[in-house]
Structure 1
Amino acid sequence: MSLFIILAAVNAFLAVALGAFGAHGLEGKISNDMLEVWKTGVTYQMFHAGGLFVIAFLIDRWGQTSLLNAAGWSMFIGIILFSGSLYVLSTSGIKILGAITPLGGVAFLIAWTLIIISALKA
């Protein structure tokens, strides 16, 4: 069993559910600008759920390595920081949360970089 497959599937599920909630539950309740912020969170969550699947498959192919493990956790943390901060920002209007979002972006970049390094070493 790969923990990253479970994390990927849970995040893909949540992205679909949160996307539907945004489209049907938030429309007319938050501004169009904040609805776009919500959609950005959903989009990045789904893309990086796919990234977690990639990591799980690479672990299956190349074996569990510290680089791939770190990539998986970095991607998961990126989802929480990036998408999570956008969800809270869009529904609360607390602007300071926008300062957290780039930290999630950096976590995503680290994860993809670690995948590149793993591929070069494989």
Structure 2
Amino acid sequence: MPSNILLKAAAILGATSIGLGAYGSHGIRNIQGITERQIESWSTASKYQQFSALSLLCLYSISKTSAIKPKTISLSAALIFSGSLMFSGSIYLLVLNRDRFKFLGPVTPIGGLALMAGWLALLF
């Protein structure tokens, strides 16, 4: 992943995590039938998305100064970005409309595995 794309991906994830986190804290409670568990799930998704944005920002910084191979950084970044989209994105959609998006249930743990793989990719 080229460094300019990496920085943009971090910025997009970071900015949207703030907006979605704020919605989770203030707006989501207005949805009829929303449960505390769903609000907690939304909060978890927002936090993981924020951590992913910071992770990508760190990878961007590392890419400028580190001896880590660019391919390794690209792989790690791609896994963290896609993992964040799958993990957090599926939770957001499931909270908003579980019946419509129930097919996304299995995507959440796959996203979590991709996030973990992104970190582990840095070992190689």
Same fold at TM > 0.5: yes
1:99 CA displacement:
1.1
Tell me the C-alpha RMSD between the 2 structures: 1.5
1:35 aligns with 2:39: yes
State the percentage of identical aligned residues.
Answer: 29
Distance 1:116 1:55 in 2: 13
Distance 2:96 2:35 in 1: 9
Q: For 1:55-70, what aligned pairs fall within 5 Å after superposition?
A: 55-62=59-66, 65-70=70-75
Unaligned 5+ segments in structure 2 are none
How many pairs are equivalent? 117
Q: For 1:86-97, what aligned pairs fall within 5 Å after superposition?
A: 86-94=91-99, 95-97=102-104
Q: Which amino acid in structure 2 is aligned with residue 59 of structure 1?
A: S
From 111, 114, 120, the counterpart of 1:107: 114
1:81 CA displacement:
0.3
Point out 4+ residue stretches in structure 1 off by more than 4 angstroms: none
- TM-score normalised over the length of structure 1: 0.88
Residue 120 of structure 1: aligned partner: none
Residue 6 of structure 1: aligned partner: 8
Distance 1:3 1:92 in 2: 31
1:4 CA displacement:
1.1
Distance 1:14 1:115 in 2: 26
- TM-score normalised over the length of structure 2: 0.87
Q: For 1:20-31, what aligned pairs fall within 5 Å after superposition?
A: 20-29=22-31, 30-31=34-35
